[in-house]
Amino acid sequence: MAEKQLEQTLVLIKPDALKNSITGFIFSQLSELHTGARFAATKIVNVSRLLAEEHYVEHKGKPFFEPLLDYIMGKAHYSEENKWKRRVIAIVYLGDGVLDRIRALAGPTNPHQAREERPGCIRSLGTVVPLKDKDGKNIGERLDNLIHTSATTEEAEREIKLWFVPHDIPPMMRVCPTEICPTHYYYKEGRLYDTYEPGSMLLLAPGDMVWKTDLEILRSCGTGECKKGRLNTVAAKYLINRVKV
């Protein structure tokens, strides 16, 4: 397990950064030289709706929720013809004071504000897109701000455990506790099964390493006390890149 004094944070390099080839600049800004942070894990993710909904769960029901999902899923920047390009780079950084260091380099969430207050920061290269409903009425704006960074220690833990499974991260760099799964778990349309059902997907098998909190949720589902939303939080990460989106 990683040293307790070290913080962890999640960074997502979003589809607009990939489309505009800003990844090299972002990686250079977030290098160990600038942040003191070390890579703990990284992966290329074809973001499913399930994963997108869980990442932005606090915005569910708001007028801009659907455009936000389209953004992180890559639909806002890549057409159906180029949907194979829709992806996000997810990264776990580990280091002393990494939350504040990386957020400072990212800059304010709104790109316009970032250019005014922190010229040269990563998000100063982003843009703001007006959002309208089907009748042309303005319902808000989409912040194409290139990257996501965790805001707090609690948020970082939730997000890392949403985008990564334990074996994505080297043992000496894992911060969150894990357990070994004792049984089979299958998932289909928001429901959990302990044996295979036609059309279901295997989430975990005996011997698999799992986040301790995930196993607690799955066990509660077995007793009928699990809410669908909590189950989806677990399922989203174990289905990453396993089905076409």
Q: Which residues are catalytic, by number?
A: 148
What are the backbone dihedrals phi and psi of residue 177, each rounded to the nearest 5 degrees, phi first?
A: -70, 150
User: Which residue in 45, 33, 3 sits closest to 148, CA to CA?
Assistant: 45
Instruction: Give Cα separations from 201 to 45, 55, 191, 198, 227 (angstroms).
Output: 18, 21, 11, 9, 19
User: Rounded CA gap, 88 and 234, in Å?
Assistant: 19
Neighbours of 238 (CB within 10 A): 17
- For 22, residues 6+ apart whose C-beta sits below 8 A from its C-beta are 122, 125, 146
CA angle 109, 112, 117 (to 5 degrees): 80
